[in-house]
Structure 1
Amino acid sequence: MSIHEGQQSRAPLRRDARERRARLVSSAQQEFAVRGVDASLEQVARDAGVAIGTLYRHFPTRLDLLTAAFEPRLREFLDGADAALQKTDPWDGFVSYLENLFRIQAGDRGFNDFLSRRFPDSAEIEQVHDRMCQQIEDVLTRAQDAGRVRPDIALADIVNLIWSNGRMIDATSTTAPDAWRRQLHLMLDAYRAERAHAIPEPPMTDDQLYAAMVRLSGAEEPPLPPRAPTAR
């Protein structure tokens, strides 16, 4: 399902309302790109030339506005991810997937935030995140099955890479905007199967990863299942 399918099923807006909505989406895209997903909605409304009440009539919650604002970025990302999965060489597909992801991440601070977090209050956004995680699993498993990526790499390791790359982008975006590419390819060497050495710490479980991403969004963290007692 498209991230906009639910919105398209609503009654059509009048022309003036469509224009106000389009200005709000454009303003939000610019504000989120510069200041991240926690950008001021009041500023978004001011930049669009409307009152804050008008913004909330079109987008009752911040998540509704995020959904609309990130539609083009998400489509670009998901299309690139699908193309990476179609590559004949699994390693090339793995590299292509990560380069596409980090290229889009580097160009938009809001999308950087979006990739790094989970939003349990929005079933629509959660569905998109689930699809993204499945793509990561697919491209990773394909490269591992071909013996190109070390077998102990997990989804959580890729998300860790997204987090660390996000901080690097924050630090270098105005001084060395392409620095992320060097860091990515250094890490790719560490992921090669022939470079594998034992790692003393296992990857986070899916539950731990989800809780960490929810925490970044500021939402209430889901309870983790009880851990088995550590052997002494």
Structure 2
Amino acid sequence: MADETGGTPRRARARRSDSVRNRERLLAAARELFATEGLQAPLDRIATTAGVGPGTLYRHFPTRVALWEAVLEEPLRAQLALVERALANPDRWAGVAGYLMETCGHEAERGGYLNLMTTRYDGAPRLLEIRTAIQRRITELIRRARTEGAIRPDFTTEDLLFITLSNSAVAEVTREVAPNAWRRNVELFLDSLRPERAHPLSEPPMEPGQVARTMMRPAPRRSN
């Protein structure tokens, strides 16, 4: 029961305010460390960066997946908007080239999220739904560009994935010395997609199932 000065309600409001601040600090720390260290960044480091204890983190986000759900929906929706803009471009070559340059640019930034499209989101149906929508639209983007002769006829969605992944590695090793070197790398890739530059390839593309087995990061342990 509150005293005449309303002390108990004030304490309750203060606790709620502290809880909100702690949650925001945890989300900010998670965004920072997921961007710089990857989606498997240690949870105790996220708590330390946020200036709270592990218990506070687990009260707000009992599992890593719960933290992913709070942090990753926004960047996944940004990726979905990016590919939808590419699909809406009537110039099929410009759509593919623009999408590839923008998505590689995002991952080249320190604020990008590596492995956003290649991590298993078991237990996070909303994230899975958004990523599935992204994958379907990318497949449609490549299909239309091939059908209309804007890109080489043997280029596949799986090839696109490996271009973005390889460019992430280029961006990582050149960032401190030549931060825009990734652009030249993407432009060289783009030239290789033009139909007039196409030459027979010695190996067939990987199957979607092979790519999934190769690239998908494991789901986090339940203790995380």
With normalisation by structure 2, the TM-score equals 0.83
Equivalent of 1:97 in 73, 96, 99: 99
Q: Is the 8 A contact 1:85 1:139 kept in 2?
A: yes
Aligned amino acid, residue 203 of structure 2: E
- How far did residue 75 of structure 1 move? 3.0
Instruction: State the number of aligned residues.
Output: 206
Q: Which runs of 5+ in 2 are unaligned?
A: 1-15
Q: Is the 8 A contact 1:116 1:213 kept in 2?
A: yes
- How far did residue 121 of structure 1 move? 4.8
In the alignment, which residue of structure 2 is the partner of 1:206?
Answer: 208
Sort the Cα spacing of 1:91 and 1:201 in 2 relative to 1 into closer, same or farther, 3 A. Answer: same
- How far did residue 52 of structure 1 move? 0.8
In the alignment, which residue of structure 2 is the partner of 1:19?
Answer: 21
Relative to structure 2, which stretch is displaced further, 22-31 or 168-177? 168-177
Deviations along 1:81-117, whole A, 9 cap, x unmatched? Answer: 2222111201111111111211111114761222343
Aligned amino acid, residue 70 of structure 1: L
| Higher RCO, Cα 8 Å, sep 6+ | 2
With normalisation by structure 1, the TM-score equals 0.80
- How far did residue 64 of structure 1 move? 2.2
Correspondences of 1:1-232 after superposition (within 5 Å):
14-108=16-110, 111-214=113-216, 217-219=217-219
Query: Rg larger in 1 or in 2?
Result: 2
Q: Is the 8 A contact 2:69 2:124 kept in 1?
A: no
The runs of at least 4 consecutive aligned structure 1 residues that moved more than 4 Å come to none
Q: Which runs of 5+ in 1 are unaligned?
A: 1-13, 221-232
- How far did residue 207 of structure 1 move? 0.9
C-alpha RMSD of matched pairs (Å): 2.2
Give percent identity, aligned residues only: 36
- How far did residue 194 of structure 1 move? 1.5
